[in-house]
């Protein structure tokens, strides 16, 4: 059995944000679930490079678009690696294999008489890379990009006869009720089909960035017609017939709700025209918002997944996104909610269970547990949960699959409370019962960890190691390893807490608490192999400790770091997408803002920190004292350029140790996407100690 799944390919005009990362994480969960189920799986991701926005961004940066795309590929791959995304192939639309496929498919549609020349006149939204009808605009603006004015385009274009395929598409939807999931998206597309289709433009005239149409090379292929073909190109269409035969058609395209129309109407029609088989299924997931606002780079309301993964590691983030958002619907991320779920689901619940088991196994049985009995109440819970897990995961109800695994975790915690092993241990006559209880808990933890493998791969592997599972994580199979085992002695290993609870207030544990538990590699400082440093964390631009007690303001890293240059208020007033509620609760009061003591300071001394590419140690005069601050600006400034310079600092930040140096405050800098930090400065000379507000 084979399974070929894909995600949307991302525009590379900016780094991934938490929304685009959500898609990749959920697709990764499906890919890992398929592999766990013993299915030969091919998981494709990639980058969509022929967008006008990508071209413009490269020119703004003064680099060749190809060089820019190479750099962005690195950035994307680094983030995907950090999030433990296990793709098998990564395609870029500037690759020769893609160009060959686009030209072949376009030629076939042309030969079939489905592409014809015409005149296009109308609106175009560059951010959507889509032609817009008058009725789609709100006050003359694209509702998704209200800050931009759509362009009026009048050009000779080639059109694809989409209208011709309307009946065949309707028929396909009717004959394959599962073609588009979830149901609400299917209904939406059916309504669209029923209302009729118009032909679409598939070329852009006079542009250099793109793939030339084979039959009219002075035109480039329209970016969407180009991008959709990646799914076929990656598995050998036009370049490797045997491979194409093996993997096509795709089993599942995972895409966001905004682009289901392209995937379930335009793409199938293109395939029909070219005489190729249609993908079996498309899943249109919902949006992840940030504090109630639509996440968007252009709106300045996006959240960098690396910043989130930095806090507790990738697995807590993966768990949050999968467990908290019903797959197919919309969801929301806030730092407060994230920390709350971390404490509840990981620190208190699963982490505590693993620790208690190890402690009791060691104390009462020298860490070796022998099988006793055929399994009691927990065994039943385990088997019921496995059935529920399978049904949920097969139906892409990923949140419910995780809930099934947590059913076992909850039951095991309750079982410990009820059976009170510490009491059994006091009575020699209860020794047999104690054996049963401990073995059963160990087995429950093992089964839960197998079920959690797709969602939290590294954590699952660590838990399995601690409960004595000897099968390598990649070799685990749900059929064999997800079932309750009443046999086999277990050697239980103790270890550092997997997810120490984070408390509000200054005593809270530092960031990345699970390094010690073996779930995260120790931070690599600027080494060529490691993930890139997140300068705003290193520089103390993000709070180095997890705060978030009921009194403290929620950590809003981008705002506090000055990385979000556009005022939040403006976003809410001007750029609210229709139908959404402004995120009142994500705004801070003036009192909250005034808690931040921003001051002018003068740099007295600056020196590089050995073994760190990003960090520099500064001695600054704050007007009232001289202190050391470690800043993540070494890539942009030489130490000697900094001495004598006026900077803005947060003066009342708790001290934090960075690379062994205690930093007392942070220096404000703007961090453009993918670029180097630029220090905040003034037009006029100002005395150290002057308040900034
Ligand atoms: N390049 C096109 C896709 C071409 S596929 C042949 C594109 N790129 S994108 O970078 O704008 O978006 C990539 C994916 O991320 C899309 O599926 C999109 O729906 C999804 N998301 C973008 N923002 C999102 C959220 N805030 N939340 C969840 N998914 C989001 O569209």
**pLDDT at residue number 396:** 98
d(C-alpha 545, C-alpha 541), whole Å: 11
Specify whether the CB–CB gap between 623 and 687 falls below 8 A: yes
Q: What is the DSSP string of 134-202?
A: GGG-BTTB-TT-TTSPPEEEEEEEEEE--GGGHHHHHHHHHH-TTSEESHHHHHHHHHHHHT----EE-
Classify 689 in phi/psi space as left (phi over 0), alpha (psi -120 to 50) or beta. Answer: left
Q: For residue 10, how far is its CA from the centre of ligand 1 (angstroms)?
A: 6
**pLDDT at residue number 621:** 83
How would you list the strands of the sheet with 212-213, edge to edge? 203-205, 216-221, 212-213
**pLDDT at residue number 124:** 87
The phi, psi pair for 638, rounded to 5°, reads -80, 145
Residue with CA closest to ligand 1 atom 23:
19
pTM: 0.76
Q: Is 23 in the pocket of ligand 1 (CB under 6 A)?
A: yes
Q: For residue 258, how far is its CA from the centre of ligand 1 (angstroms)?
A: 8
d(C-alpha 168, C-alpha 601), whole Å: 69
CA distances to 3, 9, 312, 327 from 24, in Å: 17, 10, 19, 13
Q: Which atom of ligand 1 is nearest to the CA of 287?
A: 27
**pLDDT at residue number 641:** 81
The number of beta carbons lying within 10 Å of the beta carbon of residue 390 is: 18
Specify whether the CB–CB gap between 446 and 405 falls below 8 A: no
**pLDDT at residue number 520:** 65
Query: Long-range contacts of range 604-612, CB-CB < 8 Å, 24 or more positions apart?
Result: 604/643, 605/643, 606/639, 606/640, 606/642, 606/643, 607/639, 608/634, 608/639, 609/634, 609/658, 609/659, 609/661, 611/525, 611/526, 611/659, 612/525, 612/526, 612/533, 612/538, 612/659
Chain centroid to CA 356: 32
Residue with CA closest to ligand 1 atom 13:
10
Specify whether the CB–CB gap between 47 and 92 falls below 8 A: yes
Question: Can you tell me whether residue 109 is helix, strand or coil?
Answer: helix
Beta strands in 319-443 (DSSP E): 331-333, 368-369
Helix, strand, coil % (nearest 5) of the chain? 40, 20, 40
Q: Is 162 in the pocket of ligand 1 (CB under 6 A)?
A: no
Q: Is 47 in the pocket of ligand 1 (CB under 6 A)?
A: no
CA distances to 191, 510, 528, 535 from 611, in Å: 60, 21, 12, 15
The DSSP output letter for 264 is I
Query: Radius of gyration over alpha carbons of the chain, in Å?
Result: 28
**pLDDT at residue number 542:** 27
pLDDT tens per residue across span 309-336: 999 999 999 999 999 999 999 999 999 9
d(C-alpha 265, C-alpha 186), whole Å: 11
Angle at 422 between CA 419 and CA 424, to 5 degrees: 60
The DSSP output letter for 515 is G
**pLDDT at residue number 584:** 36
pLDDT < 70 regions, the chain: 297-298, 504-518, 520-595, 673-674, 684
β-pair partners for 620: 603, 627
Q: For residue 276, how far is its CA from the centre of ligand 1 (angstroms)?
A: 25
Helices (H), 281-367: 305-312, 314-324, 335-341, 352-365
Pairing mode, strands 661-663 and 626-631: unpaired
Q: Is 83 in the pocket of ligand 1 (CB under 6 A)?
A: no
Specify whether the CB–CB gap between 18 and 304 falls below 8 A: yes
Q: Which atom of ligand 1 is nearest to the CA of 258?
A: 19
Q: Is 10 in the pocket of ligand 1 (CB under 6 A)?
A: yes
Q: Is 258 in the pocket of ligand 1 (CB under 6 A)?
A: yes
């Amino acid at each position: 059995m084979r399974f070929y799944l894909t995600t949307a390919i991302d525009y590379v005009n900016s780094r991934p944000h938490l929304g685009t990362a959500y898609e990749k994480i959920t697709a990764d969960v499906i890919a890992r679930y398929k592999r766990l189920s013993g299915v030969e799986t091919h998981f494709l991701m990639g980058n969509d490079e022929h967008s006008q926005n990508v071209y413009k961004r490269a020119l703004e940066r003064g680099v060749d678009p190809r060089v820019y795309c190479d750099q962005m590929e690195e950035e994307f791959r680094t983030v995907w690696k950090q999030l433990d995304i296990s793709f098998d192939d990564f395609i870029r639309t500037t690759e020769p294999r893609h160009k060959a496929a686009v030209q072949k498919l376009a030629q076939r549609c042309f030969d079939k008489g489905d592409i014809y020349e015409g005149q296009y006149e109308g609106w175009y939204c560059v951010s959507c890379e889509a032609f817009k009808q008058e009725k789609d605009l709100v006050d003359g603006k694209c509702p998704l990009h209200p800050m931009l004015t759509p362009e009026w385009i009048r050009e000779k274009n080639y059109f694809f006869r989409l209208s011709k395929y309307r009946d065949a598409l309707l028929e396909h939807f009717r004959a394959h009720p599962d073609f588009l999931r979830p149901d609400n998206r299917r209904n939406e597309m059916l309504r669209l089909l029923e209302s009729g289709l118009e032909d679409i433009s598939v070329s852009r005239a006079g542009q250099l960035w793109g793939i030339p149409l084979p039959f009219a090379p002075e035109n480039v292929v329209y970016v969407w017609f180009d991008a959709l073909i990646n799914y076929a190109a990656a598995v050998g269409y036009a370049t490797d017939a045997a491979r194409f035969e093996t993997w096509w058609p795709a089993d599942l395209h995972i895409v966001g709700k905004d682009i289901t129309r392209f995937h379930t109407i335009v793409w199938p029609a293109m395939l029909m025209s070219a005489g190729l088989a249609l993908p079996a299924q498309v899943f249109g997931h919902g949006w992840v918002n940030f504090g109630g606002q639509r996440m968007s780079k252009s709106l300045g309301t996006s959240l960098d997944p690396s910043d989130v993964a930095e806090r507790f590691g990738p697995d807590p983030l993966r768990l949050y996104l999968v467990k908290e958002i019903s797959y197919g619907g919309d969801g929301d991320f806030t730092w407060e909610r994230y920390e709350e779920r971390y404490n509840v689901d990981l620190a208190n619940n699963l982490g505590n269970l693993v620790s208690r088991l190890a402690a009791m196994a060691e104390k009462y049985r020298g860490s070796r547990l022998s099988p006793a009995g055929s399994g009691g109440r927990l065994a039943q819970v385990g088997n019921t949960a496995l059935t529920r897990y399978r049904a949920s995961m097969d139906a892409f109800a990923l949140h419910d699959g995780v809930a099934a695994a947590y059913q076992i975790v909850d039951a095991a915690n309750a079982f410990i409370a009820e059976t009170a092993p510490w009491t059994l241990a006091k009575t020699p006559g209860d020794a047999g019962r104690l054996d049963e209880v401990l073995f059963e808990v160990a087995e429950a933890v093992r089964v839960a960890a197998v079920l959690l493998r797709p969602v939290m791969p590294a954590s699952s592997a660590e838990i399995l190691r601690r409960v004595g599972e000897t099968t390598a994580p990649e070799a685990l199979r749900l059929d064999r390893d997800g079932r309750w085992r009443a046999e086999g002695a277990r050697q239980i290993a103790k270890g550092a807490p997997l997810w120490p609870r984070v408390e509000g207030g200054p005593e809270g544990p530092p960031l990345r608490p699970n390094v010690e538990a073996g779930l995260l590699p120790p931070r690599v400082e600027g080494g060529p192999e490691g993930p890139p440093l997140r300068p705003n964390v290193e520089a103390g631009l993000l709070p180095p400790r997890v705060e978030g007690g009921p009194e403290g303001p929620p950590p809003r890293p981008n705002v506090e770091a000055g990385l979000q240059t556009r005022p939040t208020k403006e976003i809410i007033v001007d750029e609210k997408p229709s139908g959404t509620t402004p995120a009142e609760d994500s705004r801070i009061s003036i009192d909250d803002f005034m808690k931040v003591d921003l001051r002018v300071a003068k740099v007295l001394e600056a020196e590089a920190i050995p073994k760190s590419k990003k960090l520099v140690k500064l001695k600054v005069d704050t007007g009232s004292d001289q202190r050391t601050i470690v800043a993540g600006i070494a890539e942009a400034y030489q130490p000697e350029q900094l001495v004598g310079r006026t900077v803005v600092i947060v003066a009342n930040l708790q001290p934090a140790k960075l690379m062994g140096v205690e930093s007392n405050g942070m220096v404000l800098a703007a961090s453009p996407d993918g670029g180097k930090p630029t220090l905040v400065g003034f037009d006029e000379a100002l005395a150290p100690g002057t308040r900034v507000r």
